[in-house]
Structure 1
Amino acid sequence: MILESLMAALMTTGPANIPDPEIALAQGRAQGREESGVISFQNLPFAAPPVGPLRWRPPVKPAPWSDIRDATRPGAICIQSPANGDPGVGPLPMSEDCLTLNVWTPQGMTALLPVMVWIHGGGYNNGSGTAALYSGTNLARRGVVVVTINYRLGRLGFFDHPALAAERQPDEPAGNYGVMDQIAALEWVRDNIARFGGDPGNVTIFGESAGGVAVTQLMVAPAARGLFHKAIVQSGLGRQRSALLDEDRPGHPSAQSLGVAFARSVQLAGATADDLRALPAERLLSPTPAFYTDNLIVDGRVVPEDVVEAFAGGRQAPVPMILGTNSAEFWWIRPSDAGAYGRADDLMTDEEYSALVAAYGGQGGYDTSVVSDLIFNEPARHLARLHADAGHPAWLYRFDVVPESNPEPSGGATHASERPYVFDNLDTVGRPLGERDARAATAMADYWTGFATRSDPNGPDRVDWPGVAGDRLLEFTNDGPVARAVPHGERLDLIQQFYARIRP
């Protein structure tokens, strides 16, 4: 009976390979498309357009529609600045009316399948779920249902101002509108994904960079509890100290103070909430808010505390988790550079600095690698250890696959370079990739979907991926996956001691 209802929801009458299947949702019917055994539905709204009086408000349910909705093409990406050719952005147009998601499901399923919900990166300023890079077709062929989402970005998604605070109810969440959108999308998945053949009781969230940060924020968000059952964090920071909603800290202004400074920059000192909502969306793009200092907010409700503090107290979601980083994340950023990443080592004592320079084999090694270790590698190891210490399954990885066609002198795998391998979409990156890249993509996609299916990335005919206990990880290399000790542990130990001193 369950299977019959499922197939009826997935398709109208006719054979299983009809070209344009229809599906009935609570808001109305939608028409998708079938290609190579995978059915896709794009541009499905999970919340009402956050425009007019809904700008800087929590997401609300989408309105119903009467006609059959065309779900064969991507919707608009959220308002954002140009992103210098990042393949994770997706095609124009862009609009504030962007709170949509996309679903890929394999044809011919005989039972409800695991669900994987992708949260894109882009510094909470760029990106979308519509990019070809994130097509779920090749993951769906492995027996999962894939969902990719959009969420509000930049000042439309991560912003506050005293004028907005003055008009909202005391219990209304604020500031983290992009995270609220992510939670609304997960609620939509809970309520609707069985119609697509997905199991709402077996949902894995995964994301990269800002999307990885989003996964960790959802791990500590009370409203997200129970909406997912596994988590994968790709290059998702971990030690960041977020801006508070309305309280300044030394060297770290609050979200409201940042909002006041922005309003002054556009000649809106003393602005009302109506003044702010009347601003054209494009006026909110410049100057671009800094991800590490402006877009990460602890609002006390949606994100109640910094991620590392929640993990240290065992207050994160008790779900299996994979965390990892790339071998040359921010290889181009030096500790002397301007900006928050360059300042990451500013609080080191002379003794700490000298010990680290020695551990890196000299100033050159320090300058090339310390920012990546401070921002990505040690925080990932730390969160993985904390999660395992709390009694939850945790696996750590390092991605070190470098195509022969890679033009960058990075000495390893740079930030975000694992994405086409995770999705097994090597044809979307604009440069030729070879057979060894295809093998790496097969391995990575198999581990990811295996984890979504069984709560454990291991499976037959795979290199065994050890748990984080014992400081071991799985390294994805040009020659295949290798289980090994966490690389450069002595450097990471010194960084851990540094963090323990400045934030005990």
Structure 2
Amino acid sequence: MVLASLMMAAVMSTATETPRPRAEVTEGVLLGRESEGVRAFRAIPYAAPPVGALRWRPPVPAPAWSGVREAGEPGAICIQPPANGDPGVGPLPMSEDCLTLDVWAPAEAVGPLPVMVWIHGGGYNNGSGTAALYDGSNLARRGVVVVTINYRLGRLGFFDHPALAAERGPEESAGNYGVMDQIAALAWVRDNIARLGGDPERVTIFGESAGGAAVTQLMVAPGARGLFHAAVVQSGLGRQRSARLDEDRPGRPAAQALGVSFARSAGAGTEATADALRAIPAERLLSPMPAFYSDNLIVDGRVVPEDVVEAFAAGRQAPVPLMIGTNSAEFWWIRPSDAGVYGRTDDAMTDAEYDALLAAYGGQAGYDAHVVSDLIFNEPARHLARLHAGAGHPTFLYRFDVVPASNPEPSGGATHASERPYVFDNLHTVGRPMGERDARAATAMADYWTTFARYGDPNGGNHPAWPEFGAVPDRLLEFTNDGPVAKAVPFADRLDLIEGFYARVRR
């Protein structure tokens, strides 16, 4: 009797156990997981591990495997400093063998679905596609396939040195290894996403902060052309002047000059060889941490051929629909007098420019609180939107100003990166109570983002109409605590003055 009961229990357990989905990709067979109508395949290698002789080399295809590969758990995050509580960083372990991606797709999908490829932020120093914040399940339930990626970070992803230059061939790309990884991931999506329910002809790239800057770099990268068909830039800068690979420019040492300086500090000597550089332990490459704005943004002449704003001004960006926007209190904690590259952004202002802006901000307190955010994010986003719309491409500008009642920050608005849980409809990952108005905002943002991925236009459904920037110039959609509102670009007088400042200093 006991044996019969055990056998019956085993049969019932087997009958109710969720079957594990399989998928065959170029490299082999994957065994994923299914939960609440969404299939997930995780830690899929899209390139070979960039270790040993492949450190500081362009990515190469991942090797095939035999049998079935377990794809139910997240993979290692790329080498990076401690997360310090950033929810955009996934769980350990950490490894140079990290070039993987995760895929979420509806279990009962009919026909190929639009694809959304997320590029995480973190200053090109931190972050991972494996974070719970970026779980794609709630977007997938809206009828899209979501892909999140890891890419090389810090000095492993954005670095050059004369010794590395001496060993590579004349046609080999260099410096922007993290961007090369992003392009390799997009190529993998093109070749494989149909086997996972996605449409390789409807791929939208979207990213925040450094990930938003990556989207703009991919828009001007020849190697990425045709690998995506729409783009979303969340707080992605736009006016930055990148370091060149081997040529110093005023105030911007070349990537190779920065590499020599680091090698000297790491004990590799002034005449370090490529082998000596590759022998440096990965963790040693983290200190001192490279600065995103001055070290990790590189124009190498091949992968990223020119500064983003110059490419947009010349109409050389990808001719795809674009959503672009910022948050209302991006860098509220940085003052223009602070040390560091962001605090120095206004140093080149003339007395007349400074006085005019001081008046526009209503005095020193307003200037100090908002000018860095306007210089780094808000005016550059409007400028890229104007250039893209002016070239005849569908463009949609937004401003995010949703502030949870539980927000402990004295920001007076939506701080940098605070829109991420709303876009992914993953409010449960932020670690503090979120209210009904937050749930409504998350529903709206996730709906707009997935509708844009489907049609190249965020409009549709029951949400307020989002004005197209080319058809209705200088109007945007603002996400507020009371819901989305179409309106004129806020504080346009301040942005106009900053636009004039940039026009002068970039001549």
- Aligned residues of 1:19 and 1:35 also touching (Cα < 8 A): no
5 Å matches for 1:444-459? 444-459=445-460
- Aligned residues of 1:320 and 1:394 also touching (Cα < 8 A): yes
The CA distance in 1 between the partners of 2:505 and 2:210, in whole Å, is 24
The CA distance in 1 between the partners of 2:130 and 2:436, in whole Å, is 27
Picking from 492, 495, 501, the partner of 2:495 is 492
Q: Which has the larger radius of gyration?
A: 2
Instruction: Report SS of the residue matched to 1:342.
Output: coil
- The equivalent residue for 1:64 is 64
1:483 aligns with 2:495: no
The CA distance in 1 between the partners of 2:266 and 2:252, in whole Å, is 22
Amino acid at match of 2:188: W
- Aligned residues of 1:326 and 1:399 also touching (Cα < 8 A): yes
- The equivalent residue for 1:32 is 32
- The equivalent residue for 2:418 is 417
Instruction: Report SS of the residue matched to 1:351.
Output: helix
Amino acid at match of 2:107: Q
Question: What is the CA-CA distance between 1:19 and the residue it aligns to?
Answer: 2.4
Cα deviation, 1:234-264, whole Å, max 9, x if unaligned, reads 0000000000000011211000000000001
5 Å matches for 1:155-304? 155-269=155-269, 270-304=271-305
Cα deviation, 1:103-138, whole Å, max 9, x if unaligned, reads 000011111000000000000000000000000000
The CA distance in 1 between the partners of 2:151 and 2:109, in whole Å, is 30
The CA distance in 2 between the partners of 1:18 and 1:211, in whole Å, is 35
1:23 aligns with 2:23: yes
The CA distance in 2 between the partners of 1:133 and 1:26, in whole Å, is 28
- Aligned residues of 1:115 and 1:198 also touching (Cα < 8 A): yes
Cα deviation, 1:47-69, whole Å, max 9, x if unaligned, reads 00000000000000001111311
Which is further off, 224-233 or 18-27?
A: 18-27
- The equivalent residue for 2:4 is none
Question: What is the CA-CA distance between 1:28 and the residue it aligns to?
Answer: 1.0
Cα deviation, 1:271-290, whole Å, max 9, x if unaligned, reads 10000001110000000000
- The equivalent residue for 2:346 is 345
The CA distance in 1 between the partners of 2:462 and 2:137, in whole Å, is 23
Instruction: Report SS of the residue matched to 1:343.
Output: coil
5 Å matches for 1:372-383? 372-383=373-384
- The equivalent residue for 1:5 is none
Instruction: Report SS of the residue matched to 2:372.
Output: helix
Picking from 494, 501, 504, the partner of 2:504 is 501
5 Å matches for 1:424-443? 424-443=425-444
Structure 2 unaligned residues grouped into runs of 5+? 1-13
Cα deviation, 1:167-192, whole Å, max 9, x if unaligned, reads 00001000000000000000000000
- Aligned residues of 1:42 and 1:101 also touching (Cα < 8 A): yes
Count of aligned positions: 491
Question: What is the CA-CA distance between 1:460 and the residue it aligns to?
Answer: 2.4
- The equivalent residue for 2:322 is 321
Amino acid at match of 1:140: A
The CA distance in 1 between the partners of 2:306 and 2:81, in whole Å, is 29
- The equivalent residue for 1:10 is none
Picking from 472, 475, 479, the partner of 1:472 is 475
- The equivalent residue for 2:83 is 83
Runs of 4+ in 1 over 6 A off after TM superposition: none
The CA distance in 2 between the partners of 1:459 and 1:321, in whole Å, is 16
The CA distance in 1 between the partners of 2:140 and 2:468, in whole Å, is 26
TM-score of the aligned structures, taking structure 2 as reference length: 0.96
The CA distance in 2 between the partners of 1:211 and 1:313, in whole Å, is 23
Superposed CA RMSD: 1.2
The CA distance in 1 between the partners of 2:19 and 2:148, in whole Å, is 22
Which is further off, 243-252 or 133-142?
A: 243-252
The CA distance in 2 between the partners of 1:335 and 1:240, in whole Å, is 16
The CA distance in 1 between the partners of 2:376 and 2:251, in whole Å, is 18
- Aligned residues of 1:49 and 1:98 also touching (Cα < 8 A): yes
Amino acid at match of 1:26: T
Amino acid at match of 2:440: R
Amino acid at match of 1:343: R
1:116 aligns with 2:116: yes
Instruction: Report SS of the residue matched to 1:83.
Output: coil
1:365 aligns with 2:380: no
Question: What is the CA-CA distance between 1:18 and the residue it aligns to?
Answer: 4.9
TM-score of the aligned structures, taking structure 1 as reference length: 0.96
- The equivalent residue for 1:3 is none
Amino acid at match of 2:177: Y
The CA distance in 2 between the partners of 1:460 and 1:94, in whole Å, is 42
- Aligned residues of 1:139 and 1:424 also touching (Cα < 8 A): yes
- The equivalent residue for 1:7 is none
| Identity value in percent | 78
The CA distance in 1 between the partners of 2:178 and 2:375, in whole Å, is 26
- The equivalent residue for 1:393 is 394
Cα deviation, 1:175-215, whole Å, max 9, x if unaligned, reads 00000000000000000000011000000000000000000
Amino acid at match of 1:154: G
Instruction: Report SS of the residue matched to 1:41.
Output: strand
Instruction: Report SS of the residue matched to 1:152.
Output: coil
The CA distance in 2 between the partners of 1:482 and 1:146, in whole Å, is 27
- The equivalent residue for 2:405 is 404
- The equivalent residue for 2:101 is 101
Amino acid at match of 2:262: F
Cα deviation, 1:282-335, whole Å, max 9, x if unaligned, reads 000000000000000000000000000000000000000000000000000000
